Amino acid sequence: MKLRAVREGLLLVALAFLPAIGEGIYFRDKISWQSSIPASELVTVDQARAWGDSAIWVDARPDEEFARDHVPGAFSLNEDHWNELLPQFLPNWSPGKKVIVYCSAESCNAARDVAKRLRDEAQLTEVFVLQGGWEGWVKKNR
């Protein structure tokens, strides 16, 4: 009796897996392989503002969007012109300064990519991505 219950239970579990596996195969190209940003690397607009002068803002959006508007004092640093913009940004950094990188919105990837390059290539520590990006900043400030 017990064995039958276990067998049936296992069969139900296996059946439950079937549609999931099928969906995984069918939508394999649509699965997002981009890892999400760990919470320790994110900062909210309020937290970032509280850091005041001990933080430096980096705008990872394209040049035109930066030219239209940006966080006051932010430096433009995007991957379109990384080699030109990085040398302009770095002299303004000093040890102990936090770096806050933002792009257009929560869903954009540019801030994460720029933050990663600052950590990996320039070996800066304390580099954060702004939650909600530029849209989030505008909502809180206007």
Q: Which residues bind other proteins (CB under 8 A)?
A: 29-30, 33-34, 53, 57, 61-66, 70-76, 78-88, 90-96, 108-110, 113, 121-124
Nearer to other proteins, 43 or 77 (CB): 77
Smallest distance from other proteins to CB 14, Å: 26
Smallest distance from other proteins to CB 46, Å: 20
Nearer to other proteins, 42 or 108 (CB): 108
Question: How far apart are the C-alpha atoms of 35 and 25, rounded to whole Å?
Answer: 20
Question: How far apart are the C-alpha atoms of 85 and 30, rounded to whole Å?
Answer: 34
Q: Exposed (0-12), middle (13-18) or buried (19+): which is 142, by Cβ within 10 Å?
A: exposed
What is the three-state SS of 30-95? Answer: CCCCCCCCCHHHEECHHHHHHCHHHEEEEECCCHHHHHHCCCCCCEECCCCCHHHHHHHHHHHCCC
Smallest distance from other proteins to CB 61, Å: 7
Nearer to other proteins, 51 or 93 (CB): 93
Smallest distance from other proteins to CB 39, Å: 23
Smallest distance from other proteins to CB 44, Å: 20
Nearer to other proteins, 62 or 132 (CB): 62
Task: Determine contact, residues 42/131, Cβ cutoff 8 Å.
Answer: yes
The structure tokens listed for 13 are: 């579990």
Nearer to other proteins, 40 or 83 (CB): 83
